[in-house]
């Protein structure tokens, strides 16, 4: 006997009454010639009949639970109603607000305009614009660096003179330190100061 390649799903659909009505005449025609499908149809119908009988035997007639109504209201009285969460409330109220906006367009436009002005007034401060500065950040930084450099030179000179006075440093040491500072301070007024101090040291120590 040649094997039938009809889908088993078609057989089940046919038995279950779910086969596409367009396919039904063709399938019923097929059943008149195909023993395999006919046997399958018979087998599935038999299985379903058996299950139907067993289920009918289990619940022979419709039954309802005893006194469901009383039990339900008793339970509803025992359990407090669910409180909706903060977010749910927020969402519900938001929906209501949106509904008002949809229904009353002029009111919504006015409210929106008022909200924009209020935000601009309190947050943006449009009537007092922030002042702009002419000094570019790069120039200010360079000036600050030069200032720090000159302060450094000043501190070095002061240290040299303090050491000379307090520790009675020898002439060689002080001269070499002053020469180093003089090189650092080239191009500034501190170079003249360093030079003057250098000459004074050289005179006093006869170097």
Partner 1 sequence: MDKLIDDELLVAQFKSGSQKAFDDLMKRYEQKIFGYLLRSVRNYEDAEELTLEVFFKAYRALNKWEPKAKFSTWLYTIASNLAIDYHRSKSRQPIYMYEDEEVIETRLVANDISSNPEKNIEDKERGHLIRKAVDELSSKQKAVFMLSRYEGLQIKEVAETLGMAEGTVKIHLHRAIKKLQTLLRPLWENNEI
Residue 54 engages partner 1 in binding (rule: CB under 8 A):
yes
Which residue has 């200010």 as its token pair? 140
Only segment of 7-15, 105-113, 144-152, 197-205 that touches partner 1 (CB under 8 A): 7-15
Residue 196 engages partner 1 in binding (rule: CB under 8 A):
no
Only segment of 26-34, 60-68, 125-133, 196-204 that touches partner 1 (CB under 8 A): 60-68
Q: Which of 1, 5, 18, 165 binds partner 1 (CB under 8 A)?
A: 18
Q: What are 17's two structure tokens?
A: 């009454």
Q: Kindly state the DSSP code that residue 80 receives in the 8-state scheme.
A: P
Only segment of 27-35, 61-69, 109-117, 171-179 that touches partner 1 (CB under 8 A): 61-69
Please give the Cα distance from 193 to 137 (Å, whole number).
Answer: 32
Residue 2 engages partner 1 in binding (rule: CB under 8 A):
no
Please, which residue, 15 or 160, has the CB nearer to partner 1? 15
Please give the Cα distance from 43 to 36 (Å, whole number).
Answer: 11
- Given a contact cutoff of 8 angstroms between Cβ atoms, the answer to whether 1 and 35 are in contact is yes
Please report, to the nearest 10 degrees, the dihedral formed by the alpha carbons of residues 20, 26, 29, 34 taken in order.
-90
Please, which residue, 1 or 54, has the CB nearer to partner 1? 54
């Amino acid at each position: 006997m040649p094997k039938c390649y009809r889908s088993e799903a078609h057989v089940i659909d046919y038995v279950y009454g779910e086969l596409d009505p367009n396919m039904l005449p063709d399938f019923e025609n097929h059943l008149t010639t195909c023993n395999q499908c006919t046997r399958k149809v018979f087998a599935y119908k038999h299985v379903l009949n058996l299950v139907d009988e067993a289920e009918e035997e289990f619940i022979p007639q419709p039954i309802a639970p005893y006194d469901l109504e009383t039990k339900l209201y008793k339970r509803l009285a025992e359990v407090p109603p669910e409180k909706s969460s903060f977010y749910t409330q927020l969402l519900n109220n938001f929906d209501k607000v949106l509904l008002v906006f949809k229904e009353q367009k002029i009111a919504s436009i006015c409210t929106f305009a008022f909200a924009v002005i209020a935000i601009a007034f309190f947050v943006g401060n449009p009537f007092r614009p922030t002042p702009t500065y002419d000094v570019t950040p790069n120039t200010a930084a360079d000036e600050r660096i030069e200032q720090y450099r000159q302060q450094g030179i000043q501190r070095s000179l002061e240290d040299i003179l303090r050491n000379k006075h307090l520790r009675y440093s020898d002439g060689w040491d002080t001269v070499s330190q002053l020469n180093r500072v003089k090189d650092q301070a080239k191009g500034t007024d501190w170079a003249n100061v360093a030079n003057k101090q250098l000459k004074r040291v050289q005179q006093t120590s006869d170097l």
